[in-house]
Structure 1
Amino acid sequence: MLVVVILLAVNLLNYMDRFTVAGVLGRLQDYFHMDDKQAGMLQTVFVIFYMCLAPICGYFGDRYNRKFIIIVGMAIWITAVALSTLVGRDHFNVFLLLRGIVGIGEATYATVAPTIIGDMFSGSMRSTALMVFYFAVPVGSGLGFIGGSAISLWSGSWQWGVRFTPLLGMIFFVFIIVVLEEPRRGQSEYAEVEHSTIWEDLKYLMSVKTYVLTTLGFTFVVFCVGAASWWIPQMMTFAYGILHHLDDVPKDEVAHISVIFGVITCSAGIVGIVAGTSLSQAWKEGKWCLRVSPTADPFVCAAGSFVATPLFFFTLLIASHSLNFAWALMFVAVTSMCLNWALNMDILMRVIVPNRRASATAIQTLMGHLFGDASSPYIVGFISDAIRGDESSSAAKYFSLQGAMFLPNVVLVLSIACYLWSTLHILYDEHQAEMDMHG
């Protein structure tokens, strides 16, 4: 499990880095004189670079040394983040480019690391290991908000709020070199691994209906999560301005709101991932008065989106009247949206053969980002600017963001349909994968 802990730590730092920028977004907007559309572009450019390299990393990850791929990716990530903190205020485009290069570094890790875990464990042990690995999503996101905001407030500059992740990354870079040993592909399942071309891989992946449907469901959830993680702290800041009749919210209060959102993201994410994996395992084994169901994984994913949809809607409506109530609703909504993080990858491992899992992970990542969190921050920012016009009051900023955020709320509904549809195919696809692995 030491390898899983190290992989978790690096994944944690990756997600922390993504959201330190969101934690210091207000300071960045002041520093580079950005509007909402440009601020949303920061995340969009990062994810565009990320998703463009992900399929390439998936191809190499199914064929070459995965440890070497991770080492190269970490070196690129650490260097690009460090350089981005040295950019002058008149060179926003350079900062934008470096954030994109950070995405290249992180893509190498995100597509390869889960497949190493998949080759080390099987069955319930693999589900548990993936659950631990994906703790990085909520914990890293939350710590990124908290750390970026708190350190920038303490230091008086956004730069130090961004620098602390590559400093920690250098420590785990050494651990990856010294400790990580790559398992043989298909080792945990005693699978016979065959070589194939990229076109054969793509044709195979598109034929697995469970994979296609859960990829779509995942993408719709990521669209909502990406928009929320980028814009909810800003929206809550404007809601605070409405409640206290302020157009210029004090910086310490902005930092406080970022910390609250970070704590909610972190704690709700942990609860969601543990609850999702535990509920699915219990359901598959017939525990807790549940009837045995081998299709529990996609059902739990669908249930998470079903619960999150109305809660997220009411969060948007209530924030300008009661921040505390809105935070409570947000906690449960985020918890529900996080039920699927580990389960989605577990489903992929069940229905995809070992020598195509890195490619499957890469394509799922590509789709999730291209039509998910690469698009949503920019789209929401664009709609918000269009609704607000020339108004600059807290009320105008709040209600324009509120109106724009209803779009990802609607998109979340589509994930329910995709996950439910996948329950009709998962048993056949899992059986087919077993046949392909063992002849």
Structure 2
Amino acid sequence: MELKNTRPAGWFYPWAIVGILWLVAFLNYFDRNLIASMRDPIVAEFTLTDAQFGLLTTMFLLSYGILSPLGGYLADTYGRKRIIIFSVCVWSAVTLWTGFVHSFSEMLVARVIMGISEACYIPAGLAMIADYHKGKTRSLATGLHMSGLYAGQALGGVGGYMSMHWGWRYGFQVIGLFGIIYGIILIYFLRDNKNKQADEFVSKDATPVKETRLGLFQTIRMLISEKSFLVLMFYFCVLGIVNWMIYGWLPTFFKEHFMLGLGKAGFSATGYVQVGSFIGVVLGGILADRWYKSNKRSRLYLIIIGFSIGAPCLFLMASTHFFPLAIVAMMVYGLARGFNDGNLMPILCQVIDGKYIATGYGFLNFLSTIIGGTMVYIGGMMMDAHISLSIIYQVSAVFMVIAAWSLLTVKIKQVD
């Protein structure tokens, strides 16, 4: 049977979408995480304090967070494909530019623009996958896509090695150029699923009726009026703080706490967590989809179980001076994060109207990244004030357990 361009049939294209977007997810996180593992040469070249270096990540996260609701709203309104392609091409061009900056202020501007462009991708990409996958495959499909983020985070750690051998600018230049080329290729392979985007619905007399859409701020007001969405907001905020403190400062923590070289610290801080996360996101997706057949709250329960084990392991990592034990602890934490990442968008699809899932996810991203980004900067200030990163990670672990258990109050409304 021949496939129609606007309505791909069968099992192949929905899974092909996951594969196509996997590489986009990889580039998204590889680009943004290169900078953390290249801390020392960047600080040396521009003569930066820890607070200034933290500001590079903070400004990225602020712009990323502020524009996330708009990026999601545009994806809900004008289609996932257009927003994804725009995002990939712009952030790749900015990555290429970063490899040629001549001052700290110029790099700061580049990070702000990168945040704006990347804000459009995650809500649109996850919404496109949700459009093609329902309850029986949604967690696994989402999880496989999120494994691309893990791969980008893990390989972002090789930036330390690249900076030692070729200089810190090389990685930005090569990856930026590759991303621009891939963005152009996406024009020919991505397709919106018109059947599931709910741009229109058909009445009983088969007459197409154009649906009335809420504006961005009306949509946000509608979302925050839901008690379960408010719980998700609290959870996302704590998750953002913990995740971005890990992304932004774990290479520095490993380097100083365990006396590692720059390259080994950068790779260890990203690679081992991602191994655990990759296992967790696939295993969590499979378990959630199977458990979902008998219990529609399966995705919520898996996240709670995951962080009830994983958050104490984060506390252990921050407390021990035995490096192999710290590695095992971070792999277990990564497993919990994998359970989380494969199920967050599917949970959102069960809590709010499907017409607004990209906007809803974008708004949650807005809160978590604004707060998380601010904490990266505050973390740098605390380090300048000689407050140990060990203490910061221990406190973060405690709040992560509290946030995970708050999910028990979330009510499921939508069933696939």
Q: Is the 8 A contact 1:54 1:107 kept in 2?
A: yes
Does the alignment pair 1:103 with 2:103? no
What is the Cα deviation at residue 206 of structure 1?
1.9
Between structures 1 and 2, the one with greater helix share:
1
SS in 1 for 2:173: helix
Q: Which residue of 1 aligns with 2:273?
A: 265
Pairing of 1:426-437 with structure 2 (within 5 A): 426=412, 429-430=413-414
The 2-side partners of 1:23 and 1:139 are apart by: 15
Distance, in Å, in 2 between the alignment partners of 1:69 and 1:336 is 30
Deviation at 1:177, TM superposition (A): 0.9
**Equivalent of 1:406 in 379, 394, 397:** 394
Match of 1:282 in 2: 290
Q: Residues 110-149 of structure 1: matches in 2 within 5 Å? A: 110-146=122-158, 148-149=159-160
Match of 1:236 among 254, 261, 281: 254
**Aligned counterparts of 1:179 and 1:219: Cα–Cα separation in 2:** 35
- One of 146, 150, 153 as aligned partner of 2:161: 150
On the 8 A contact 2:135/2:289 being kept in 1, the answer is no
Task: Extract structure 1 runs of 4+ deviating beyond 6 A.
Answer: 188-193
What is the deviation of 1:185?
A: 5.8
Listed as ranges, the matches of 1:378-417 within 5 Å are 378-387=377-386, 400-417=388-405
Given residue 120 of structure 2, which amino acid in structure 1 is its aligned partner?
Answer: T
Aligned residue among 223, 236, 242 for 1:224:
242
What is the aligned counterpart of 2:177 among 162, 167, 178?
A: 167
Deviates most, 57-66 or 189-198? 189-198
Question: Partners in 2 of 1:185 and 1:28 — Cα distance?
Answer: 48
Spell out the pairing of 1:7-156 with structure 2 (5 A cutoff).
7-88=21-102, 91-146=103-158, 148-155=159-166
Quick check: 1:280–1:296 contact (8 Å CA) kept in 2?
Answer: yes
Give TM-score, length-normalised by structure 2.
0.88
Equivalent in the alignment of 1:208: 226
Identical aligned pairs, as a percentage?
A: 25
The 5 A counterparts of 1:248-259 are: 253-259=261-267
Aligned to 1:368: 368
Structure 1 residues 216 and 2: CA distance shift in structure 2, 3 A: same
Contact 1:15/1:140 (<8 A) preserved = yes
Question: Against the structure 1 CA distance between its residues 379 and 408, is the aligned structure 2 distance closer, same or farther, given a 3 Å change threshold?
Answer: farther
Query: How far did 1:410 drift?
Result: 2.9
Distance 1:283 1:97 in 2: 46
Paired with 1:162 and 1:297, the residues of 2 have a C-alpha distance of: 37
Q: More deviation in 37-46 or 216-225?
A: 216-225
User: In structure 1, what is the Cα distance between the partners aligned to 2:123 and 2:93?
Assistant: 20
SS at match of 2:380: helix
Bigger Cα displacement from structure 2, 117-126 vs 41-50: 117-126
What TM-score, normalized to structure 1?
A: 0.84
In the TM superposition, residue 188 of structure 1 has moved relative to its aligned partner by: 9.3
Q: For this pair of structures, how many residues does the alignment match?
A: 394
- Code of the aligned partner of 1:167: L
**How far is 1:265 from its partner?**
2.5
Alpha carbons of 1:284 and 1:116: their partners in 2 closer, same or farther (altered >3 Å)?
closer
Q: Does the 8 Å contact 2:314/2:393 carry over to 1?
A: no
* CA–CA distance in structure 2, aligned partners of residues 298 and 237 of structure 1: 35
Deviation at 1:190, TM superposition (A): 10
CA distance in 2: counterparts of 1:37 and 1:364, whole angstroms: 26
SS at match of 1:205: helix
Indicate the RMSD between aligned Cα atoms, in angstroms.
2.2
